Amino acid sequence: MRMLHRLFAAAFMLALFSVTASAQTKLRFYSWQTDDQSNSIWWRAANKAFEDANPGVSIDFVKVPRDSFADTMMVMFSGNTAPDIVHLASFEFPAFAQEDFLEDLTPYIQRDGLDLKGWAGQEKCSVHGKIVCINMNYFGYLMFYNAALLKQAGVAVPHDWAGYLDAVRKVTAAGGGQVFGAGLHTTAGAGQYLTELLAVVLDAGGRWSNAAGKPTIDSPEVIEGLRRWKLLQTEKLTPMGLKAEDIRQLFIEGRVAIRLDGPWMWGLLAKAKPELRPSLMVAETPTATPLGGTSNVIGMPASLPAERKKLVWDYIKLVTSQHWQEQYVALSGQLAPRPHSLTAEALAAKPFLSVFQAAQDKAAAQGIDRLPTGFETSYNEFAKIVTEEAQRMVIDNADPAAVAKRIQARAVALQKG
């Protein structure tokens, strides 16, 4: 009888342990979007919905700084400590796919009938015939501007490079060193630096590479783009040595007049002081060719145990569902990649989304993407090369043509390995 009691007790403890273990199941999710006042609102709502639908499972949503995100993730994957839910910038994930770190989602998609037809930017997630991620955002760059600062400087809302340069010069001159016309990311953080530089290069008609993947950095158009980028800094038309996050903060404080950025910046405007908020507006970018493309993707590690893969896939199904894609639009104030996610109700409530849609459509029509052809798996190295040389161009007052020649040589060497 005593043995029977022990067996019952052991069975009870095992059951209790199983419940406790289940209650402690955590899916690790590392992101740079945990507190950005736009994407984070949606992520946290989706995370809670998943937890409510899966009692005993929680999502550990942890911030990793954007500047060090890719390097941190590569170290974690290489050390077999990858997060359960994989969130990567779209221009960084190919390096992880090349190492076979990412699970092929094709069987999951086919089994559950996830329709990806017309899904914005999804083609970028196919690597060697495998779908290794789901694209979570496709965007077109926009111009956020302070109408009051432009009016004080006596300039109109710019619609081209000449108008933009005139506006930022006059606002800066009127600002007395306290207010700047432009707001650029000019410090560490190769990916963001390159993104903002590319917006200027595109307007000058340049591309980092051609359709065949051959570097075209020493072309006259790219040289002109580098000259414009240098000019904005050497004339001190932007605060220097600041990251994008700092510039965005200065914008909502009324100290930067024009900021070219993605739609994710819209949510940040709500943090401006009530007296400043009416002056903060958005319009299509004044650049002739708007920067655009895929922004970030979601996936799972190939090394996950089967039971955790099931949980992660269930999470991916939730955030890619029609309901939660519509919620992405409603909560973040951005466009979702799933077709028909912008409802008539959402557009009526947020009319500015028509501007977002126009920018996105224009970028997509011209085939623009931040990830240059030929550098898909070496983007970080490429970005660091361009950033180093462009920063040196400003610091040393170097000739843009000579700088372009050096970047071209280093880019060719990078491709050769």
At 71-89, the pLDDT tens digits run: 999 999 999 999 999 999 9
Long-range contacts of 351-357 (CB under 8 A, 24+ apart): 352/266, 352/282, 353/329, 355/142, 355/282, 355/283, 355/284, 356/139, 356/140, 356/142, 356/263, 356/266
pLDDT mean over 254-276: 94
367 pLDDT more than 90: no
pLDDT at position 18: 37
pLDDT at position 26: 96
Six token digits for residue 164:
């933009």
pLDDT at position 21: 38
Residue 211 burial class via C-beta count within 10 angstroms: exposed 0-12, middle 13-18, buried 19 and up: exposed
10 Å Cβ neighbour count for 6?
A: 10
Kind of pairing, strands 134-135 and 296-299? antiparallel
pLDDT mean over 164-175: 98
Query: How far is residue 257's CA from residue 235's CA, in Å, rounded to a whole number?
Result: 16
Query: How far is residue 51's CA from residue 259's CA, in Å, rounded to a whole number?
Result: 37
CATH architecture of 2-138+294-349: 3-Layer(aba) Sandwich (3.40)
Of 147-156, 361-370, 400-409, the poorest mean pLDDT is in 361-370
pLDDT at position 290: 86
CATH architecture of 140-292+366-416: 3-Layer(aba) Sandwich (3.40)
Q: Where in the chain is the domain with CATH 3.40.190.10?
A: 2-138+294-349, 140-292+366-416
Query: How far is residue 277's CA from residue 274's CA, in Å, rounded to a whole number?
Result: 5
Contact 204, 195 (CB under 8 A): no
pLDDT at position 67: 83
Of 93-97, 274-278, 400-404, the poorest mean pLDDT is in 93-97
Contact 154, 208 (CB under 8 A): no
Query: How far is residue 164's CA from residue 182's CA, in Å, rounded to a whole number?
Result: 9
17 pLDDT more than 50: no
pLDDT at position 234: 98
pLDDT mean over 51-70: 95
Query: How far is residue 359's CA from residue 142's CA, in Å, rounded to a whole number?
Result: 7
Query: How far is residue 217's CA from residue 201's CA, in Å, rounded to a whole number?
Result: 10
Contact 298, 108 (CB under 8 A): no
pLDDT at position 190: 65
Contact 238, 184 (CB under 8 A): yes
Q: Write out pLDDT tens, residues 201-245.
A: 999 999 999 999 999 999 999 999 999 999 999 999 999 999 999
* 93 Rama class: left (phi>0) / alpha (psi -120 to 50) / beta: alpha
pLDDT mean over 152-164: 97
Q: Name the average pLDDT for the chain.
A: 91
10 Å Cβ neighbour count for 199?
A: 23
Single-letter amino acid, residue 106: T
Query: How far is residue 325's CA from residue 150's CA, in Å, rounded to a whole number?
Result: 36
